[in-house]
Chain A
Amino acid sequence: EDKVVQSPLSLVVHEGDTVTLNCSYEVTNFRSLLWYKQEKKAPTFLFMLTSSGIEKKSGRLSSILDKKELFSILNITATQTGDSAVYLCAVTSNFGNEKLTFGTGTRLTIIP
């Protein structure tokens, strides 16, 4: 069965700090890894990663995938209070459907 483990479970930092969130996975026939941000209800899409070693960036957020070691990291630089949320990591496989297997998430709290 596919499995995603995120660490840390929660993180409290001061505004302006840089944070790194971790995601390790076990999946048969890996297709992609996705990061979502969940503030209240709807998870909002951040990144989709399919290839090792290629960094994806969006403003202060960046992410990279290591398919050999089976993990991904999400970096947030110069954190702001609006970055406070639960960050979810999910994987998909090549088994003919779109099932996302999620981790439990990392709850990030930014103190002003």
Chain B
Amino acid sequence: DAGVTQSPTHLIKTRGQHVTLRCSPISGHKSVSWYQQVLGQGPQFIFQYYEKEERGRGNFPDRFSARQFPNYSSELNVNALLLGDSALYLCASSQGTGNIQYFGAGTRLSVL
């Protein structure tokens, strides 16, 4: 079975632009969470979606938004990019609350 897949693997944008990152969960998993990991730090929670509804939101500005589709895949959108948004964006999926989250390989975003 395929694991969590994310696309693209790398992305270079300039300040002020918009970006969309995509995530496909493990088959059968209904929950998707997004994390931001800057160099030298642990991942920081951005959003969690379960059955297409937002279940949790971290301390990120409104420039960050996400959604989950009927097939449980998810998109993370970031508007008006800042240099500080440069990071590895990780997606994790699980069967639901209390279950293990499995991570994808991430999207490396560089904002110039």
Contact = CB atoms under 8 A, between A and B. Distances in A.
Interface string B79-112: 0000000001010101011101111111010000
Contact of B55 (A34, A36, A41, A98): A98
Given A98-B55, A99-B56, A31 B98 contact: yes
Interface string B46-76: 0010100001101000000000000000000
Of B50, B58, B97, B101, the most chain A CB neighbours within 10 A belong to B101
B40 interface: yes
Main secondary structure of the interface of A (DSSP, over half): strand
Contacts of A99: 33, 45, 48, 56, 58
Interface size class of B (residues with CB under 8 A): 20 to 34
Given A31-B98, A98-B55, A104 B42 contact: yes
B55 to A, nearest CB: 4
Contacts, number: 69
Interface stretch (A12-20, A42-50, A52-60, A66-74): A42-50
A61 B55 CA distance: 33
Given A32-B98, A43-B43, A43-B90, A97 B55 contact: yes
Interface of A: 4, 31-32, 34, 36, 40-45, 48, 88, 90, 92, 96-105
